[in-house]
Amino acid sequence: MTLQLRCATMADARTLFDWRNDPVTRAASHQTDVLSFESHAGWLDATLANPLRKLLLAEEQGRPVGTVRIDLCADGSALLSWSVAPEARGRGVATQMVSMAIQDMPVGCVVRAEIKAGNVASVKVAEAAGMRMSGQDGDTLYFVRDVVSEQGPGRVD
């Protein structure tokens, strides 16, 4: 499978909206309620204008299959979250796209993720990208990868 990552645009609003309202995605999110398209479009507009946030879209042969969001935090770390199109799950898309997203990040950047307990697939994705669990608060598991190294994605140092 060959994936390509590009920055999301407003033209991706409907695709991202459908993925966001997918029941499995909502169950894995902090915010579990169904969103209206209008509120989603407003969120996307603000996201694209936010210099501290990057929203990537993964494509397979030109077809959108997943997304990675990167939030640059005040402490200099980057908080990643991801989801895969329902029809594209279980084929390694998340594992590959998250590692690719990390590869594009500045060397030395600390990468983090927050994963709901029980989200076995996402725990595996985080671990494959070199992150390790650093703590837990309620049903939120905290994952961190010390630094992005020059050796490439998904490397476990």
The footprint of ligand COA (CB under 6 A) covers 24-25, 28, 81-84, 89-95, 113, 115, 119-122, 124-125, 128
> Nearest approach, Cβ of 109 to ligand COA (angstroms)?
18
* Residue closer to ligand COA (CB basis): 49 or 89: 89
> Nearest approach, Cβ of 135 to ligand COA (angstroms)?
15
136 is written with which tokens? Answer: 């837990």
* Residue closer to ligand COA (CB basis): 73 or 108: 73
* Residue closer to ligand COA (CB basis): 49 or 120: 120
> Nearest approach, Cβ of 91 to ligand COA (angstroms)?
5
* Residue closer to ligand COA (CB basis): 22 or 147: 22
Pairing state of beta strands 63-72 and 53-60? antiparallel
